[in-house]
Amino acid sequence: MSLPDLSQRLAALGANEAHRDRVLRHWVQALPLDQGRRKLEHFLPQALRQALPALMDELAGLARLLQRHPGEDGSARLLVGLGDGMTVESVLLPRDGLCVSSQVGCAVGCAFCMTGRDGLIRQLSSAEIVAQVALARRERAVKKVVFMGMGEPSHNLDAVMEAITLLGTAGNIGHKNLVLSTVGDPRVFERLTGAGAGPVRPALALSLHTTKAELRARLLPRAPRLSPREIVEAGERYARDTGYPIQYQWTLMEGVNDGEDELDGIVALLKGRYGVLNMIPYNSVPELPFRRPSWERAREIARQLHQRGVLTKLRDSAGQDVDGGCGQLRARALADGVQPVQWRERRVAG
C-alpha cells in the first residue's frame, strides 16, 4: 500500500480532504480513534466510520514488532516485520528520535555495511515507511525521523518523499527534524531544489566517509561517481538555500579513514562550509574485516578537526552494546528464525 493508494481508498469511502487528514493524523501520530475535540461519529461519513476499525488494523499490520533490543544509551533497535514476511530495522534513538528503513536490502553495496551484502531485495512503500513511525509512537514520543536505516533513500525517492511529506504535515514533525540521508545521488538534489520540490523540504545528511575519490569508490562501489568535493559543493548549495546545515556522515574505521592525510583532506573540504561533520566510530561486524578505532583515538581526531575549524560531533552508533549495526538484526533473524514479541502499547502523541 502506498500513501496515494490509501488516499484513494479513503476517497472511495466518502472522505474529503479534512476527513482524510483526520484519519491520517490518528494513524501516523498513534492516537486513539476516540481522541479529539470532534467525535468521529459527528464528523466522518458513515461508510468511512464503519470501515475505519478494519482499516486501522490493516495499517497496523504494515509494520509489526518482531524483536526489541534496548541499549544502555536509551536507544532500542527494532526488528520490524512487513506484511509479506520480509523484515527491516528501525532504531528508537535517544531524545525522541527514530531511524527508519526505506528498502529491504540495498543496492549500493557499501563494503563496511551488512545491509547491502545481499543486494536490493525490494522497495518499501511510502505507507510501510510511515508505518515504522506509527509503530514507534505506540512506544514513545517521536519528534525527529532520520532516513538512515536499511536502504539508500535516493533509490526509492518517490516513496521516501511521499512519507516525508506526510510526516511533515499530519505527522507533526518539524521539517528540519526530517533528515534524508544519501550517498550523494544527484537525483536527490534535483528533486529537492527543482520545480517539483514538495511542501516539505527535509534536512540532508550526506555519506562522505573519505575525502579520497578512489577510496570512496572502493568503500561505496555502486554509489554515483561524484567526487567528495562535488558532493560537498552540492550539499553547500542546498544548505544555503534551505537554511539547514548539512550533516556530513563519516564512519570512522581503524586504518582506513582515520589517518592524518584524511584529517588534512577534511579541513580542506569542509572548513567554512555550512554543515557539521558527524564522526561515528564503526559498529564492528564480525563477518566484515573493518574495525572500530579506540574511543580515545576518535576523540582526538574530533578535537583536532574542531581546533582546525571544522565543526565536528563525535557520535556513538546507537545500541553498540546490542551489536545492532544496520542489517545485523535482520541477518541474525534470518539465521535463527523470529517470533513476534509481546509488548504493552502506550499511545503517545508525537
Distances (CA, A) of 201 to 65, 101, 179, 315: 29, 19, 9, 25
Closest CA to 22 of 6, 1, 47, 43: 43
Query: Tell me: the pLDDT tens digits for 203-229?
Result: 999 999 999 999 999 999 999 999 999
Average pLDDT over residues 25-47: 88
Burial pattern 21-34, b for ≥16 Cβ within 10 A else e, equals: ebbbbbbbbbbebe
What is the C-alpha to C-alpha distance for residues 182 and 224, in angstroms, rounded to an integer? 10
The type of residue at 284 is S
Mean predicted lDDT score pLDDT of the chain: 90
Alpha helices in the chain (DSSP H): 3-12, 17-28, 46-60, 126-137, 157-167, 186-193, 213-219, 228-242, 260-270, 295-307, 328-336
Phi, psi (deg, nearest 5) at residue 180: -95, 120
Other Cβ atoms less than 10 A from the Cβ of 238: the count is 20
Query: Tell me: the pLDDT tens digits for 222-274?
Result: 999 999 999 999 999 999 999 999 999 999 999 999 999 999 999 999 999 99
The type of residue at 314 is L
pTM: 0.90
Assign 116 to helix, strand or coil. Answer: helix
Catalytic residues: 89, 326
Q: What is the pLDDT of residue 329?
A: 66
Closest CA to 29 of 133, 102, 124, 126: 133
All cell numbers assigned to 320: 553498540
Average pLDDT over residues 110-137: 94
What is the C-alpha to C-alpha distance for residues 314 and 279, in angstroms, rounded to an integer? 5
Task: Please state, for a pLDDT cut of 70, what percent of the chain lies above it.
Answer: 90
Please, are residues 161 and 154 in contact by the beta-carbon 8 Å criterion?
A: no
